[in-house]
Amino acid sequence: MIAAEINTIRHQAGKILLAGAIEIGRPLKEAKDLLPYGEWGKWLKESVSYSQRTAERLMQFCEEYGTKLLASPDSDGNPNSSPVTNLTYTQALILLGIPEEEREEFIAEHDVETMTKLELQQAVKDRDQAIREKKDLQKDLNLKSSELTQLTTQNKSPEQTFLPLMMWTRYLMNSCTKDC
């Protein structure tokens, strides 16, 4: 009972942290657009005490998740809500490794909400490995297909292969019968 309560609070805190990261990312994007080229790092250090990496990550959260998460802040139990609405900060961070157009499908196929950080990292790693293997297999298939096409065009039909030989044989036979 106590563990369930702790886990619920932890999950809610992760969701709040993600919402805060998205909210911070929005004005960071605005500030970056307003600053002259080369002033971004200095402004971050002096004004908000963020490194460029942290600021870029916060802006990425805003870009990738902002419209879906902030449009429906209380999505618990809503069957029409986007799968990303129940993500915590850590889950959202890990899922940034998956292209946006594939992310919701990945979340729908995996029970991301109940996965540990390590399980989610492993699932993303497995997905990436499967994609690499599929690309390698497709590359091999294309190579074999190309080789087969090349061999097919090189190997002429038996008639095409033997016709000159047969004609030459007839010529020799005719020549031999006349001259022999």
Rounded to 10 degrees, the C-alpha dihedral 162/167/168/173 comes to 120
The residue extents of the domains of the chain are 2-97
- Of 109-113, 132-136, 156-160, the one with minimum mean pLDDT is 156-160
What integer pLDDT is reported at residue 92 of this predicted model? 94
Backbone angles phi, psi at 35, to 5 degrees: -80, 145
Given CA atoms 128, 129, 134, 137 in this order, what sign does their dihedral have?
positive
Q: Which two tokens stand for residue 17?
A: 């942290």
Per residue in 132-144, pLDDT tens? 999 988 888 888 8
Q: What percent of the chain has pLDDT over 70?
A: 78
Band (113; pLDDT cuts 50, 70, 90): confident
What phi, psi does 102 have (nearest 5°)?
-105, -10
8 Å CB contact between 87 and 15: yes
Return the pLDDT at 44. 96
